[in-house]
Amino acid sequence: MQLFSWKRIIALGLLAVLVSVVVACGEDEDEGDEEPFRIGVMESLTGPGETYGQVSNNAKQLAVAEINEAGGINGRMIQLIVEDSKCSAQDSITAYNKLTDVDGVKIILGTSCSGAMLGAAPLAEADGVVMFSGLATNPDIAEAGDYIFRTAMSDAQLGIDTGNVLWADGIRTLATINESTDYAEGVRRASVAQFEKRGGEVVAAEQYASETTDFRTQLTKLLSANPDAIHLAAQGEFSGGTIVKQLRELGYEGPIYSEVVPVGSEALKIAGDAATGLKAITADLDPANNKAQEVLGSYRDRYGQVTLPWYLGSAYDDVYITAECLKRTGDDQDADGFRDCLYDITWSGAIGVGYSFDDKGEVVGLSNVVVEVLPTGDRTEDNNGYKVLGGAPTE
Amino acid sequence: MQIDTTAIVDMLRLAQSPREFLRFAKGNLELWANLLIIGWAVVFMVWQGTGFAISVGTVFAIWAILAVSLNLVVGFTGLLSVGHVGFFGLGAYTVAILTSDAAYEQLRTEAIPTFGLPFFAALPVAILFAGLVAVAVGIVFNRFRDDIFVLVSFGFAIIAFNVFLNLRSVTRGAFGIHEIARPEIGTWVFDGELEFLALVVAFLGLVVLISWFIVTSSFGRVLTAIREDEQATEVFGYQVTHFKLAIWVISAMMAGLAGGLFASWTTFIDPNSFILLESMLLVCIVILGGLATIWGSLLGAIVFVLLEEGMRFIPFLPAEYVGQARQVVLGILLVILMLFRPQGLVGRYKL
């Protein structure tokens, strides 16, 4: 009888859950006095921000494994408790509550998505819990509160750098195309603001939804305005690569500028030779920084492939900064001490040398670089397909 | 033309009442097994941490309002709508924009019009606005039935999402609106999580009461008749389109209410919260709980939220794949549930 098997399934399921919980609780209790530092991690492990969240989580696991293998912090290990905040405020709030309330965590590394960050930040600020993100770039986060920090540079900074690069390269009229997402939209807005401030003029602007696959109509419109250059801000590598490819197919030979997404490995594969000469203004790891190369090496050893190297480095540095502050405070429940330590600290790691945090918890001392995509023959796994031209001009 | 009288007898019988629910629950081992698991899961969550349980409870209450209201349309009237999230978003954005205060004028990124209304003034506006849009949309949608209706409601969800994303001067587009005000009465602010849970549960109670009143009234019986045989109901002299429009608007207003509460609870909304997927999950909840039963929708929402949040407690998952593994387990559990109860946990009507 079907009913019978249904009941049996329920009983078995219940038993399995009960057993697992009992085992999990048992595990908690026999840790004794060598209890590890418990740190929360919130990343977009599923959903729209998955690529970023996964890379960020992997980098943090790598850093913690290194620290623990080297003997921990004064003999105490670090334990990361990972929760999925997706890219949504709702999931970020429940993940936050789970971490702070169930696990009793006072320090949270994350999130990888600005929307999730803005959802949980008011709670963290009210509870006095530190949130420390390596990836969230929305400019609004600067005002989110005293306990909110990030090593990710605000989109506002990227925009200023982009505007300056365009102007310095002699571009006077610009056409822009961007994906309708907070990141891409923010980059475009800030870039255009700086470009216009310097005296440039935007002659055409287009936007596209994330699921678009053909851009020829919009690109033709941009080209008919006859701009000196085209600026592209994408959130997905597919659209980023496709736009570059279709621009060249339409016969455009002028310069193309972008942010980091269109020079990602997937995007370059899609664009092929059309991407050669594409310039991107982005946060990238300095090839001369030994620490950065070392981190990329160990990441490649552990996970096989490197994507989003800067964000990987940022997440990695976050863990080491956390470890340093834990060494100073010696208590993972002391969020205030940890916050003061962050305000105080000056750090040299994978993403930069001698950077610190200002009174809004924004990172200072990092800068974006200009990279240029190499011809297809010269692209290797080591150079990620492009060469770094140098830092963005300030004036 | 022949009229199937058994269908009409069925419709009358299907009208819900607590007595019938009890009769149904009596000797129903599956239901008790379900309730046992739910009860145990609730106790488990509260024992783990009250703050966490409160936030899960709030998520449940908001989803339950949505599920109960969607069930009025899908379960009782037989119109499979996947556009419910559109009204949810409309409610959320209306509250978010109406309560936005002067702080927004100083933002570096896109500023929006500021009204600075208190929450309890903005909420009725949001409900009315969702209702108004539902009237406009519903007049058009009334021309469609069955599978075509699914497609047009799908279209509505897409349109709503794109409006939220692209009407940037009002919604701030992809940036989302943050620092949305919490409700306040006089000097008493619902800023504590427990107070807010109480508020949402109170509204849920109101929605359940209204829905119950609707489905047990003669109006509700006509809706059931429409679901069973629209033409036959028309032959009996009922203006079917009026009934369908009315329930569509009522349901949309309830979704608008849920949206307003959601915006105030998260204090941050962006278009990502109102994607089509949310609508699909909502239809899942309604079917999971059981079509054409209010209790079923409540049960469905509880089971779904507990499953999803309960996934956080699965031990021994590799830290690198913890998120994906949980989603896979959730998917498998839903498949198993549907396999054994295609009519839902307590439902009797099948799509």
DSSP A133-185: ESS---GGGGGS-TTEEESSPPHHHHHHHHHHHHHHTT--EEEEEEESSHHHH
The DSSP symbol for B349 reads B
Q: Which residues contact B334 (CB under 8 A, 6 or more apart)?
A: B284, B288, B307
Element containing residue A95 per DSSP (H, E): helix A89-97
Residue at B277 is within a domain: yes
Is B201 inside any structural domain? yes
Interface contact flag, A138 B320, Cβ < 8 Å: no
Nearest CA in chain A to B38: A14
Distance of CA A185 to the CA centre of its chain: 16
The domain A156-282+369-391 is classified under which CATH number: 3.40.1360.10, 3.20.20.210, 1.10.260.40, 3.40.50.2300? 3.40.50.2300
Stretches in chain B below the pLDDT threshold 50: 1-12, 14-15, 108
Q: Cα separation of B270 and B263, whole Å?
A: 10
Angstrom distance (rounded) from CA A261 to CA A184: 10
B253 within domain boundaries: yes
Q: Do A89 and B319 touch (CB under 8 A)?
A: no
Looking at CA atoms only, how far is residue B5 from chain A in angstroms? 31
Tell the burial category of A358 from Cβ atoms under 10 Å away from its Cβ (0-12, 13-18, 19+).
exposed
Provide the number of CB pairs (under 8 Å) joining chain A to chain B: 140
Tokens of A45: 């492990």
Is B178 in CB contact (< 8 Å) with chain A? Answer: yes
Mutate to test the interface with B, among A15, A90, A178 (most CBs of B within 10 A): A90
**By CA distance, what is A86's nearest residue in B?**
B323
B324 to chain A: which residues are within 8 Å by CB?
Answer: 45-46
- If one counts the domains in chain B, the total is 1
Tokens linked to B323: 């998120």
> With pLDDT > 70 as the criterion, what percentage of chain A qualifies?
91
| Mutation choice for A interface testing from B48, B52, B261, B265 by most A CBs within 10 A | B52
Instruction: Give contacts of B 203-262 with A, CB under 8 A.
Output: 262
pLDDT at A30 (0 to 100)? 44
Residue with tokens 């994607």: B275
pLDDT number for residue A241:
93
Q: Which residues pair with A79 in a beta bridge?
A: A38
Q: Does B346 map to a domain?
A: no
Interface confidence: ipTM more than 0.85? no
3-state secondary structure of A130: strand
Residue whose C-alpha is closest to residue A123's, from A150, A156, A90: A90
Residue of A nearest to B337 (CA): A6
* Strand boundaries in chain B, DSSP class E: 177-178, 184-185, 188-189, 268-269
B268, B178 in Cβ contact below 8 A?
yes
Question: How close B106 gets to chain A, by Cα (Å)?
Answer: 11
Residue B6's pLDDT is what?
A: 47
What's the CATH code of the domain at B140? 1.10.3470
**Mutate which of B58, B159, B164, B178 to test chain A, going by most A C-beta atoms within 10 A?**
B178
The conformation of residue A256, written as its DSSP 8-state character, comes to: E
Residues of chain A with pLDDT under 50: 1-4, 23, 26-32
Structure-derived torsion over alpha carbons of residues B271, B106, A112, A275, reported in degrees to the nearest 10: 80
Amino acid at B180: I
Amino acid at B65: I
- What lies within 8 Å, CB to CB, of B322 at 6+ separation is A45, A82, A84
Residue A101 and residue B49: Cβ atoms within 8 Å? yes
Question: Which residues in chain B are contacts of A80 at CB distance < 8 A?
Answer: 319
The answer as to whether B219 is a domain residue is yes
B348 lies in some domain: no
Helix, strand, or coil here: A75? coil
Query: Where in chain A is CATH 3.40.50.2300?
Result: 37-153+289-364, 156-282+369-391
Residue by residue, DSSP assigns A171-236 as --EEEEEEESSHHHHHHHHHHHHHHHHHT-EEEEEEEE-TT----HHHHHHHHHT--SEEEEE-SS
User: How far apart (Å, rounded) are the C-alpha atoms in residues A118 and A92?
Assistant: 9
Superfamily assignment of A37-153+289-364 in CATH?
Response regulator (3.40.50.2300)
Query: Which residues 40-69 of B have a C-beta within 8 angstroms of A?
Result: 40, 44, 48-52, 54-56, 59
Chain B nearest C-alpha distance from A123 (Å): 10
Whether residue B30 and residue A3 make contact (CB cut-off 8 A), yes or no, is: yes
Inside any domain, residue B102:
yes
B161 inside domain: yes
- Cα A197-A201-A202 angle, rounded to 5 deg: 115
Please report the pLDDT score of residue B4 as a whole number: 45
Q: Are B182 and B267 in contact (CB under 8 A)?
A: yes
Task: Look up the domain containing B99 and give its range.
Answer: 5-340
Which of B196, B270, B313, B317 has the most A C-beta neighbours within 10 Å, making it the best mutation to test the interface with A? B270
Pairwise CB contact (< 8 Å): A182 & B270:
yes
Q: Order of strands, edge to edge, in the sheet holding A107-110?
A: A78-84, A37-43, A107-110, A130-133, A148-150
Looking at residue B321, the DSSP 8-state letter turns out to be: G
Directed axis angle between helix A216-224 and helix A237-249, to 10°?
A: 50
The per-residue pLDDT for A29 is 44
Dist. CA B315–CA B310, nearest whole Å: 11
Interface contact A93-B55, CB threshold 8 A: yes
A362: left (phi over 0), alpha (psi -120 to 50) or beta: beta
| Encoded amino acid at A184, one letter | A
Task: Say whether A185 and B320 touch across the interface (CB within 8 A).
Answer: no
Whether the CB of B325 is below 8 Å from some CB of chain A: the reply is no
Q: What is the pLDDT of residue A3?
A: 45
Asked if the Cβ–Cβ distance from B262 to A90 is below 8 Å, we say: yes
Q: DSSP 3-state assignment of A365?
A: coil
